[in-house]
Structure 1
Amino acid sequence: MDQETREMFGKVLGVLEVIKTDVSSLKSDVSILKTDVSILKTDVSILKTDVSILKTDVSGLKTDVSGLKTDVSDLKTDVSDLRTDVGSLKTDMNVMRSRQDEMYLMLKGSEESRQRIKSLEEKSTIAAIERENLEVESAKIVGALRRSAHEVLKGLADEEVS
C-alpha cells in the first residue's frame, strides 16, 4: 500500500472512530430519551388519574350545587310564607291593640263608676265614722275621768290613813 492509501485509510479510520463515538453518544442519548419517555408515560398516567378524580369531584359538586339550588328555592318559599305570616301577625296585633284600648276605656268607665259609688257610700258613712270618733273620744274622756277620780279617792284614803 502506498502512502496515500495509508493516509486515506487513516482518515477513514479516524472518521470511523468519530462515527463510532457519535453512535455511542447517540445510543446514550436514545437511552436517556427512552427513560424520559417512560417518565412522561408515568406522568401522563398520573395526569389521567388526576383528571378522572377531578371529573368525579366536578360531578359531585354539580350534584351538590343542584341540591343547594333546591334548598335556596325552598328557603325563598319559606321566607315568602314567613313574610305573609308576619303581615298577618301585625294585622292581628293591631286588632288586639284596638280591642285592648276599648277594654281599657270600658274598665276605666267602670272604675270611675265604682269610685262614684264608693264616694257616695263614703259620704253616707262619714256620719258613722264621726259617731265612732265621738264614741272613742268620749270613752277616752270617761276613762280619764275614772282614773282621775280613782286617784283622788286613793289620795283621800291615803290622807286618812296618815
Structure 2
Amino acid sequence: MALTNEDLLAISQLLDVKLDAKLKPMENDIKSIKDEQTRIKDEQTRINLIIENDILHDINILVENYVPAAKRYQDATSQIEAMQADMDIMKKVISDHSEKLKKIS
C-alpha cells in the first residue's frame, strides 16, 4: 500500500499540529527564562549603579573624614600619655612639698 501525496500531506499536517502543541509550552518556558534573565541583568545593573553612585560615594566621604580624625587621635594619644606622665611627677612633687611645708609650720 503506497501513500499518496495527499496522505503524506495529511500526516505532515498532523505531525505539525502535534509538534506545535508540544513545542508551544517549551517556547513559552524559554521566553519566560529569557525574560527572567533580562530582569535579573537589569536588577544587577541597577544594584551596580547603586553601589557605584551611592555606597562607594558614602564610603569615600567616610574615609575622607576618618583618616584625618584617626591621625589626630594618634597624635593626641602620645600627647595624653606625656601629660599623664607629667601629672604623675607633679603629684609626687606636690606631695613632697606638702610634707615639707607641714614640717616647716
**TM-score normalised per structure 1:** 0.50
State the 1:24 CA deviation. 4.2
**Alignment match, 1:104:** 91
**Residues 48/16 of structure 1: CA separation in 2 closer, same or farther (3 Å cut):** closer
Tell me which residue corresponds to 1:47: 33
- 1:49 deviates by 2.2
The RMSD of aligned alpha carbons is 2.7
Is 1:27 the equivalent of 2:10?
Answer: no
In structure 1, C-alpha distance between the alignment counterparts of 2:24 and 2:64, rounded to whole Å: 58
The unaligned stretches of length 5 or more in structure 1 are 1-13, 119-162
Matched pairs, number: 103
| Alignment map for 1:1-162 (pairs within 5 Å) | 14-16=1-3, 20=7, 22-66=8-52, 67-117=54-104
TM-score, structure 2 as length reference: 0.69
Q: Secondary structure at the match of 1:15?
A: coil
Between the aligned partners of 1:26 and 1:16, the Cα distance in structure 2 is: 12
Alpha carbons of structure 1 residues 16 and 56: separation in structure 2 relative to 1, 3 Å: closer
- Specify the code of the residue in structure 2 equivalent to 1:45: K
- Letter in structure 2 aligned against 1:63: L
Distance 1:75 1:48 in 2: 40
Deviation of 1:23 (Å) = 4.4
Extract structure 1 runs of 4+ deviating beyond 3 A: 22-25
Q: Which runs of 5+ in 2 are unaligned?
A: none
Percentage identity across paired residues of the two chains: 12
